[in-house]
Amino acid sequence: MKVSYHVYKDYAVDVTGSSDEEIFAAERHREEVAEKRYSFVSMRVHPDRDTLFIGCTNGGGDLLVEFDPATGEFRSCGYGNSGIWEDTEAKIHKGVWLNTEENALYFATSTLKPISQTIDSNGGKLVRYRVDDDEFDLIAAPIRGQFYQASCYDPARNKMYLYTMPASGFGVFDIESQTLVRHDPVESIPHIGAIDDEGGVWGTYSIRRQAFFRYLPDTDTYEFPKGCAFPEAYKAANVMYLGAGPIDSMINGRDGYLYAGSALGEMIRLDPISKEIEYLGKPFAGIRLPGMFLADDGLIYVCGGPDGTPNLARYDRNAGKFDYLGRVAAEDGTTCFRCHGLAILNDTVYVGETDNRERSGYLWACEL
């Protein structure tokens, strides 16, 4: 595996911290830090353009950029100048979704600021980006003082599903009727949820159980299947950050199952109908499994592991085994600090880097 990296706007900080949140807070009086420091936290392949759209962490509002692998260049989509952005918004944390018929991206925004500075704010935004027009549309700012650590988007039902902070809640927004269908405190939120083949939306609930729920949008009801929880679910909670649930990554495998990785670095397969969970294993040592992506050939790529030494592996569903591919580290000795997002385009695995303690995050390219 050949590993290289792409730099958008590099910025070295004078202080250190365990996360972007801590660094931005420590450097809050320096405007250049807010404008120039970036992390890459969400990714979406645009197959017709052969590009990646990347949701960023940035204090200046530059939350969506496009990367062209053919040229190695980044392009700002200009969210900070859209007239929609407010300075409480600092990231598209998890969830950039492509509606191919509209050629539009859907996402929700989150924050890095404390409750004392956001409680009376408009909260995060639900946004549509029309790719052909290079224009943003404000869908809604549906919940005052709440921000969206993750979102799922269902184009068939024209709904967005929201995992909210600081409420640790689950919300449903109907785009056509401009209605907040519900926002329920569930005491746990995943890093990202998933939608199954029948439209059921999955998340976690209960500060003690940290178990799965399934929301059924057609009847506006929940299922709380007994015993449906990640192994070591309680132990895996609060690992990503205080108040986080155990789920670090989650995808629809397009084979009738959902696949999820925990903050302890373990992977499972979940049957949405029977609610049975199969433990698949642990692809590498250490905690965290924030990167998961389904390749066109059916292999599932995963990235995670200890800070400073993230690893890349893939799971072969037919063989029922993991193949270890290597560390996300370049030949010049530069290493990815912490993986946050994963995508594959033209046989290259792209890893989005976050929370680097010394510099901006890079976009890592792992050629297979």
Model confidence pLDDT, tens digit, residues 268-297:
999 999 999 999 999 999 999 999 999 999
Residue 310 near residue 5 (C-beta atoms within 8 A): no
Tokens of 247: 């789920």
Least reliable range by pLDDT among 10-24, 46-60, 156-170, 330-344: 10-24
What mean pLDDT is predicted for residues 331-360?
Answer: 96
Residue 122 has pLDDT above 70, yes or no: yes
The residues near 10 (Cβ < 8 Å, ≥ 6 apart) are: 359, 360
Query: Residues 132-159: pLDDT tens digits?
Result: 999 999 999 999 999 999 999 999 999 9
Task: Report the distance separating Cα 105 and Cα 129, nearest Å.
Answer: 5
pLDDT at residue 29 in the model: 52
φ, ψ for residue 205, nearest 5 deg = -145, 160
Instruction: Work out the pLDDT band at 26, boundaries 50, 70, 90.
Output: low
What confidence score (pLDDT) does residue 15 get?
64
Residue located via tokens 């303690």 = 357
Round to whole Å and give the CA distance between 191 and 245.
7
- pLDDT of 235 above 60: yes
pLDDT, mean over the chain: 95
How far is it, in rounded angstroms, from Cα 312 to Cα 18? 22
pLDDT above 60 for 98:
yes
Residue range 357-368: average pLDDT?
94
Give the per-residue pLDDT at 237.
Answer: 97
* Alpha carbon distance 143, 121 (integer Å): 10
Which pLDDT belongs to residue 157? Answer: 98
At residue 27, the pLDDT reads 61
Could you tell me the CA-to-CA distances from 203 to 248, 282, 356 in Å, in that order?
11, 21, 28
Tokens of 216: 């059924």
DSSP string, 245-277: -SEEEEEE-SSS-EEEEETTS-EEEE-TTT--E
Which residue's entry shows tokens 């009376």? 120
Mean pLDDT of 323-341: 97
The answer to whether the beta carbons of residues 103 and 131 sit under 8 Å apart is yes
